[in-house]
Amino acid sequence: MPSGLTVGDNLAQLWRHFSLEYELFRSVPGWVPRVVAYEVKCVLVEHLHEDMRRARALRERIADFGVFAPERRIDPGLANLVRHLLQAPFDGALVGALYRVLKVEQAAAYRRHLDGTLRLNDAPTVAAVEDHLPKLDRQIAWAKALLEGPALPTELGRQVDAFEDEIRNHLAALGGILAPLAARGRSGVTGGSSIAELEASLAGAAAMPAEEIAELTENARAAAAAAAGPAGASGPAPAIPEYPAYVRPRLMALEPRFRRQGADRQHDEPWKEDILAVAAYTHFTELPVIDICAAIVYDGRDLDGLGADRGGEEAGEPAPPPEDPEEAARLAAATETYARAVARAQEQRARGAGLKGETAAAGAGGRRTELPFEFYCDFLRQTWDEVRHSRMGFERLQALGIDPYAVAIPMGHYAVWGNMHLRDRIASLTQVGEACSFKGKREWVAAAHERGEWLSALEHDYDMVDEKNHVRFGARWLPEILNRLADARSPEEVVQDADWTFRRRINAAKRDLGEAWKEVLGNKFLGCGTQTSDVTLAPEIIA
Ligand SMILES: [Fe+2]
Ligand SMILES: [Fe+2]
């Protein structure tokens, strides 16, 4: 057999690698809230972020072949395999099957791809794969050491092995990551084997909707698979059940050695007068924000199904108009300023290019309720950033002599944000919680400088670099989501409503847990400058 993959076979292989990577990096985040161990949660997210970058590199290479949105035509068998993975009985089994089965197979498949392709002709593929293989190998080594160590008692270890076998058998029944291609020999993805045929099929790819290109290649792949016959020579392939969509938990898991706490952050620890300790604590307790962001990634596939509002008790009424004339005048001015800002933003949008690129792309074939590729990239990046912020706080607490396992972790943030509509989570978290956090942080950096706490100052300096991006992510995706939901409200109105819902729900959670709550919650959000919302992820400044 002559050496060197054909262009068609190469594209088909790249597409299968990509299919599995894409489904994994946007699905496994749905499991992050169920991962108990802090260290494992953090490393898993860091790895998912690496995986996303690998998927992006593959996608970029696939675009060279004229296919610009390969995610619109994901192999359904691989998508079902990933849904099966998400049925893992507990987090150790998920980690085992992901790293000791799927990632091991992926690394082997990438190596086979490198062995099979021409290093010069196909150098862009070689570069994309070789850039990322060492990271994948390190991930596999990490999980191997973790699971071989004392992480699991023997009985749970057996259950991990059993689930790994299940996933291994499922993949084998599919014929492996690249098997359908190997089984059908050297016929090209477009139905022929020559470059000329591929070029003819994809001619004018720029003008041809990605959907049609996908259609074309999928039909050819189905025909090739049928010609190759069922996997395994001895009889029909075992039937693979169709696995249901995984649904995230309503509450986040937490290591038992952490101290859990009811709803919001409570600064009633013995060190509450130490501004540095309070700031580090606040940063560390972005731990639930990791889970909230991971939930945003996962639910992006299904805006009005998985991403729908799952309800929650609400408590607290708006404040009556202030009696004090000065206060009433201040509120009236803030209301007017906010209304002017809303009008300005709407005018700007009306003057803009109309539909955003993403919405236009959705019209060309994507599902309305499934957000596009870049959405998962943005919010997975945010999830990783929150891991870093929480870890920075963890380290600073230790440096200040405070045991992070002795402080109280607020459980209400995930319980409330995690169950609100995806639209409202993004609106409230990014446009209020994060957008309004900068003032407090700047003041805090100044205080750290005064005390000569250089590392504490840098902790928040770097945090602010990230948080500005998170506010941008929200501003980018909120209008897009509103378009897709045909929600006629302006983003600013949605932000105001979502903030109000969040405040009422966390207020009810506090009430139910016997913590301090309010019957009158104050005024609706009128911008960061007005202090009308107490939702902020900034550390409090203690005077
Ligand atoms: Fe953060
Ligand atoms: Fe953030």
CATH number of the domain that residue 216 is part of: 1.20.1260
Q: From the CA of 470, which ligand is nearest? A: 2
Q: From the CA of 467, which ligand is nearest? A: 2
Q: Look up residue 515 and give its DSSP letter.
A: -
CA–centroid distance, 472 to ligand 2, in Å, is 11
Say if residue 295 is in the same domain as residue 409: yes
CA–centroid distance, 135 to ligand 1, in Å, is 25
Say if residue 266 is in the same domain as residue 203: no
CA–centroid distance, 352 to ligand 2, in Å, is 27
| 363 part of a folded domain | yes
Choosing from 172, 205, 228, the residue where a domain stops is 228
Say if residue 306 is in the same domain as residue 454: yes
Q: From the CA of 433, which ligand is nearest? A: 2
Say if residue 423 is in the same domain as residue 515: yes
CA–centroid distance, 470 to ligand 1, in Å, is 9
Say if residue 276 is in the same domain as residue 190: no
CA–centroid distance, 426 to ligand 1, in Å, is 14
CB atoms within 5 A of ion ligand 1 belong to 286, 386, 389
Say if residue 213 is in the same domain as residue 266: no
CA–centroid distance, 464 to ligand 2, in Å, is 9
| 204 part of a folded domain | yes
DSSP per position, 88-153: -SSHHHHHIIIIIIIIHHHHHHHHHHHHHS-TTTTHHHHHHHHHHHHHHHHHHHHHHHHHHTTTS-
Say if residue 458 is in the same domain as residue 381: yes
Q: From the CA of 287, which ligand is nearest? A: 1
Q: Which domain holds residue 291?
A: 259-319+354-530
> Locate tokens 């959670």: which residue?
509
Say if residue 265 is in the same domain as residue 204: no
CA–centroid distance, 235 to ligand 2, in Å, is 53
Say if residue 385 is in the same domain as residue 509: yes
Rounded to the nearest 10 degrees, the angle between the axes of helix 38-64 and helix 287-299 is 40
CA–centroid distance, 485 to ligand 1, in Å, is 28
CA–centroid distance, 441 to ligand 2, in Å, is 13
Say if residue 265 is in the same domain as residue 153: no
CA–centroid distance, 437 to ligand 2, in Å, is 9
Say if residue 41 is in the same domain as residue 155: yes
CA–centroid distance, 486 to ligand 1, in Å, is 30
Q: From the CA of 381, which ligand is nearest? A: 2
CA–centroid distance, 387 to ligand 2, in Å, is 10
CA–centroid distance, 388 to ligand 2, in Å, is 10
CA–centroid distance, 50 to ligand 2, in Å, is 19
| 340 part of a folded domain | no
CA–centroid distance, 385 to ligand 2, in Å, is 7
Average pLDDT, consecutive stretches of 10 residues, N- to C-terminus, the chain (543 residues): 83 96 98 96 98 98 97 95 97 97 98 96 98 98 93 89 97 88 45 43 46 47 44 59 96 87 75 86 93 98 96 94 89 88 80 52 68 98 98 94 91 93 97 88 87 89 94 96 94 95 94 90 87 68 39
| 335 part of a folded domain | no
CA–centroid distance, 287 to ligand 1, in Å, is 9
CA–centroid distance, 302 to ligand 1, in Å, is 25
Q: Give the pairing type, strands 408-410 and 259-261.
A: parallel
Q: From the CA of 469, which ligand is nearest? A: 2
Return the pLDDT at 180.
60
Say if residue 155 is in the same domain as residue 49: yes
Angle ∠(22,424,476) on CA atoms, nearest 5: 60
Backbone angles phi, psi at 522, to 5 degrees: 100, -150
Q: From the CA of 426, which ligand is nearest? A: 2
CA–centroid distance, 393 to ligand 1, in Å, is 10
How far, in Å, are 16, 122, 178, 181, 202 from residue 197 at the CA level?
21, 18, 22, 17, 9
Q: From the CA of 429, which ligand is nearest? A: 2
CA–centroid distance, 384 to ligand 1, in Å, is 10
Return the pLDDT at 383.
98
| 304 part of a folded domain | yes
Return the pLDDT at 23.
98
CA–centroid distance, 68 to ligand 1, in Å, is 33
Q: From the CA of 386, which ligand is nearest? A: 1
| 64 part of a folded domain | yes
CA–centroid distance, 467 to ligand 1, in Å, is 6
Q: From the CA of 388, which ligand is nearest? A: 1
| 302 part of a folded domain | yes
Contacts 24+ apart (CB under 8 A), 236-239: 237/173, 238/173
CA–centroid distance, 150 to ligand 2, in Å, is 33
CA–centroid distance, 286 to ligand 1, in Å, is 6
Return the pLDDT at 437.
87
Backbone angles phi, psi at 481, to 5 degrees: -65, -40
Q: Which of 197, 176, 211 is nearest to 105 (CA)?
A: 176
| 171 part of a folded domain | yes
Number of domains the chain is built from: 2
Residue 52 gets the label, from left (phi > 0), alpha (psi -120 to 50) or beta, of alpha
CA–centroid distance, 538 to ligand 2, in Å, is 10
Q: From the CA of 293, which ligand is nearest? A: 2
Contacts 24+ apart (CB under 8 A), 268-273: 269/402, 269/407, 269/408, 271/400, 271/402, 272/542, 273/542
CA–centroid distance, 202 to ligand 2, in Å, is 42
Backbone angles phi, psi at 260, to 5 degrees: -85, 155
Rounded to the nearest 10 degrees, the angle between the axes of helix 373-399 and helix 287-299 is 170
Return the pLDDT at 382.
98
